[in-house]
Amino acid sequence: MKKIQAIIRASKFEEVRSALHKIGIEVFTYYDVKDAVFHRESKGAYRGTSIVDNASVSRRSIEIIVPSEDCEEVVNSIKMAASTGQVGDGKIVIFDVAELVKI
């Protein structure tokens, strides 16, 4: 089994959810997260002082546990739905699941 964690733009969540539904993924966990951007980018100056924007970006993290054979299809669906073609579309991390215990 595999655990897939995708961190995507919050604005693309509904498209990703719909894409997952189309391939039969009905249950997953999601929560809001923020990326901290630490590159110091000067936005100008005010009264001789540089104004620096250390922005944070709204993201949504999605976690799905799937059989190993379904992993590639799920990852491809997320990539297609979450992509805008711009830098910062997100990341997908895949973990091996050694054991799953239902409660």
Q: What tokens does 34 get?
A: 């923020």
- Cα-Cα-Cα-Cα torsion 99, 1, 32, 77, nearest 10 degrees, comes to -170
Instruction: Examine residue 52 and state whether it is found in any structural domain, yes or no.
Output: no
Per-residue pLDDT reduced to its tens digit, 64-101: 999 999 999 999 999 999 998 888 789 999 999 999 99
The number of folded domains in the chain is: 1
| Domain of residue 86, residue span | 2-33+60-96
Instruction: Examine residue 71 and state whether it is found in any structural domain, yes or no.
Output: yes
Instruction: Examine residue 68 and state whether it is found in any structural domain, yes or no.
Output: yes
**Residue holding tokens 């995507």?**
8
d(CA 10, CA 44): 28
Q: Residue 45: pLDDT band by 50, 70, 90 thresholds? A: low
As a whole-number percent, the residues of the chain with pLDDT over 70 amount to 79
CATH code, 76: 3.30.70.120
Residue 54 confidence (pLDDT) above 80: no
pTM score, two decimals?
0.78
Instruction: Examine residue 48 and state whether it is found in any structural domain, yes or no.
Output: no
Instruction: Examine residue 50 and state whether it is found in any structural domain, yes or no.
Output: no
d(CA 53, CA 56): 9
Instruction: Examine residue 49 and state whether it is found in any structural domain, yes or no.
Output: no
